[in-house]
Chain A
């Protein structure tokens, strides 16, 4: 359930695997266009990846339009309780929540399109708002991981010495905790007290936790890559020329590891979104009354026998989103370097 990487020995700790050799005309000719343009071309030819990219964009757009849906179609907010209310279904007024506490199933109408939960809240609205939350947490976590992971990898791989002495064991330490257990422990602890000015039920808490937990999964491979690149002759040449360390790092080394980073971005995003759902399912992620796909699935599982849509619809949304990101990620990988591929698993 985590980004996996082999130990960072030798070739960058990236699981180096290969696709079939590209024997197409483009592959055989020496190309006159730059590697990025080439990659872009290859990506554009990958119909499956493009399809899933479009799907992902559609899902994100839907979730971003949640306030519009809530205000104009459903007429109710995501956290508004409506336990004793009624809704008109096929002309008849029905209880949103029965006297026994059973919520209404999908009405396929404007109100309560996908049904209600036990508190009478509109599940379709919560699905979209929950998507916003899940995607937002995933995005923030990804940014944290990319920035801090790259920095950690660069510093410890380039400077070695003191930086490596601190950063490497730190990354090993985080990495040796099972992802879910560390996440749940931190989530439970921080949900109660929050950190500093950030309150316990803020959406930044799960994002921060996921960010921290996954840093080594980027940091270690980057470190390995950086170490490999650093040993090249042209780095020595640059030093001899009088280039400062930071300039070397950002102008010589970074471009070489950038393709690794780009390949990691979709994978980290997918893993973050998935981890958030695990944390929310276990109660250590997004806190009540806010919705995320994980909390919706968790709440809906009680009704799996009677109204499976309560949990299966958010489940499907989650799986489709993560799936799309993974397929696009695969496509980017194939496009950037058909020979070297990186696998990341959740």
Chain B
């Protein structure tokens, strides 16, 4: 009942003012990529991570959760990868993984050519062949991978394979002799490089069954490989001595054990009392223990910003939120500071969808309409907007998850809607089925909770949530704005940096139309035991707790 979907992206962002403090005390060096933080790194030992949420599966061919990515990203290295151990606003730089170099792009952006590094072997000694990549992508579609649409929608021949009309994905051709992999896309799509940096696209031996291997995980070529797994309880990783890919750190600990206990408070206590080494960053540190942690363990606790956004969606195709004034009233009345307190203070208030750490984000919270995001709400304006809208007294059902603090956020926003004059009732849905429930075409929710943690550090990843194209069940508000849709279609053809200002403009446009009520970006807890080298550990937004950076003192 606690699935945390979507992996996180890039590394720490140190550009904006709000997080300079965090960055200056953050551990990792800005030295050459792949170098370990301290030259006198200690290798060996066993590190335990206590987590409140288990991955959906240890198999990267099914799973696409934050917890899962944390784990199998060190087992299954894809063709490309996100740079590890480096902090900086350079964002999560995409570097070659199992490929020799970044792909060459030809054919007007529709063809990507990779060359596999020669002589690579899996953790079991088997040689890695170019055709293994095709097999892995087909496996993703067959199982299906929770992000299978990335493969089937953008790679030519993917849909035909998914429908069972083709025996293989026609858009990929490989040559085992030379290690060449050629990928043809349906249309130019720059984020495809990010997709090839996701662990789910990593090559696997062709003997790997095309089904979810939750009990064993899969074979890959990474700094670690799988040890014993008890699904939903414990996942063990052991060092892979055969791993040697330039640019990717080999890791320090010999064994990493990820253990699951839904009692997050107990996990926090365990780390506080040094009975466990790492508090999984994907969990919220309960408010009741934060002051204790800050006083007793200030040298091993830090709050780190991430590329994620929390928002309320409002259905624009039905009453009452088909009325612009009604939506604006919500923006005017919502107090982001209150929502932050409910999150143990780990939320940085903002009204923009693109997080500050991603190209196109970083607009000041003070520039939000009606009131600065980190200031008190503007109730007078809100009430007058409600009068103008004529929607006073309208019934609204507000949807939210039962997991803390989402339920508390739900209680709060329902109260706000009621104070505006709506007749709001809340409906709590179990976390593990929440998004699939509200995404169901039959439900048509009026108002509800939404969150997004980056898949990869590209503004398209966030903005595509509100694109009006059919087939996407992520657009819970049924937003369908022609200008917005056209921007979403054209901007991804170029690199994000080159069109950064246009992404920002699109975000501001949507905020102006109150298409979403974003209230902030999450900060994650970096909390270790005193046996860990705190400075060396990296809390990376793409990989969450970067397992290769963990080392004992």
Q: Which residues of A contact B (CB under 8 A)?
A: 79-81, 83-84, 97-102, 118-119, 188, 191-192, 199-201, 283, 287-289, 302-303, 305-307
- Is the Cβ of A200 less than 8 Å from the Cβ of B427? yes
Contact indicator per residue, chain B 316-360, by CB within 8 Å of chain A (1) or not (0): 000000000000000000010110111111000000000000000
Q: Shortest beta-carbon distance, B253 to chain A, in Å?
A: 30
What are 19 A-to-B residue pairs whose CB atoms are below 8 Å? A83-B341, A83-B342, A84-B376, A101-B287, A101-B342, A101-B343, A119-B411, A188-B430, A201-B427, A287-B428, A288-B426, A288-B428, A289-B411, A289-B426, A302-B288, A305-B265, A306-B289, A306-B292, A307-B288
What is the CA–CA distance of A119 and B340 in the complex, to the nearest angstrom?
Answer: 11
Q: Shortest beta-carbon distance, B412 to chain A, in Å?
A: 5
What is the CA–CA distance of A99 and B287 in the complex, to the nearest angstrom?
Answer: 10
In the assembled complex, B531 has its CB within 8 A of some CB on chain A: no
Interface of chain B, main secondary structure: helix
Q: For residue A284, which residue of chain B has the nearest CB?
A: B430
Q: A84-B341, A97-B341, A288-B410 known; A102 and B290 CB under 8 Å? A: yes
Q: Which residues of B contact A (CB under 8 A)?
A: 265, 269, 286-292, 335, 337-338, 340-345, 376, 402, 404-405, 407-408, 410-412, 414-416, 425-430, 437
- Is the Cβ of B345 less than 8 Å from the Cβ of A99? yes
What is the CA–CA distance of A100 and B287 in the complex, to the nearest angstrom?
Answer: 6
Question: Considering residues A84, A288, A306, which has the most beta carbons from chain B within 10 angstroms of its beta carbon?
Answer: A288
- Is the Cβ of B291 less than 8 Å from the Cβ of A100? yes
Q: For residue A98, which residue of chain B has the nearest CB?
A: B341
Residues from chain A with Cβ under 8 Å of B414 in the complex: 289
- Is the Cβ of B290 less than 8 Å from the Cβ of A84? no
Q: Shortest beta-carbon distance, A341 to chain B, in Å?
A: 40
- Is the Cβ of B342 less than 8 Å from the Cβ of A84? no
- Is the Cβ of B415 less than 8 Å from the Cβ of A100? no
Residues from chain A with Cβ under 8 Å of B430 in the complex: 188, 283
Residues from chain B with Cβ under 8 Å of A303 in the complex: 288
> Which of A101, A188, A199, A289 is B341 in contact with, Cβ under 8 Å?
A101
Residues from chain B with Cβ under 8 Å of A201 in the complex: 425-427
What is the CA–CA distance of A98 and B291 in the complex, to the nearest angstrom?
Answer: 11
- Is the Cβ of B335 less than 8 Å from the Cβ of A83? yes
Residues from chain A with Cβ under 8 Å of B407 in the complex: 288
What is the CA–CA distance of A188 and B341 in the complex, to the nearest angstrom?
Answer: 29
Q: Shortest beta-carbon distance, A103 to chain B, in Å?
A: 8
- Is the Cβ of B288 less than 8 Å from the Cβ of A83? no
Q: For residue B287, which residue of chain A has the nearest CB?
A: A101
Residues from chain A with Cβ under 8 Å of B287 in the complex: 100-102, 118, 302
Q: For residue A310, which residue of chain B has the nearest CB?
A: B288
- Is the Cβ of A119 less than 8 Å from the Cβ of B426? no
Q: A97-B341, A100-B345 known; A302 and B291 CB under 8 Å? A: no
Give the 10 A-B residue pairs with the shortest CB-CB distance, closest first: A101-B287, A83-B338, A81-B415, A101-B344, A303-B288, A289-B411, A100-B345, A101-B341, A306-B288, A102-B287
> Which of A100, A188, A192, A199 is B344 in contact with, Cβ under 8 Å?
A100
Residues from chain B with Cβ under 8 Å of A81 in the complex: 338, 411-412, 415-416
- Is the Cβ of A83 less than 8 Å from the Cβ of B428? no
Residues from chain B with Cβ under 8 Å of A84 in the complex: 335, 337-338, 341, 376
Q: A288-B407, A289-B411 known; A302 and B286 CB under 8 Å? A: yes
What is the CA–CA distance of A100 and B284 in the complex, to the nearest angstrom?
Answer: 12
What is the CA–CA distance of A200 and B265 in the complex, to the nearest angstrom?
Answer: 30
Q: For residue A200, which residue of chain B has the nearest CB?
A: B427
Q: Shortest beta-carbon distance, B290 to chain A, in Å?
A: 5
- Is the Cβ of B408 less than 8 Å from the Cβ of A119? yes
Q: For residue A96, which residue of chain B has the nearest CB?
A: B341
- Is the Cβ of A80 less than 8 Å from the Cβ of B290? no
- Is the Cβ of B288 less than 8 Å from the Cβ of A102? yes
- Is the Cβ of B290 less than 8 Å from the Cβ of A100? yes
Q: Shortest beta-carbon distance, A5 to chain B, in Å?
A: 34
Question: Considering residues B342, B402, B411, B437, which has the most beta carbons from chain A within 10 angstroms of its beta carbon?
Answer: B411
Q: For residue A117, which residue of chain B has the nearest CB?
A: B408
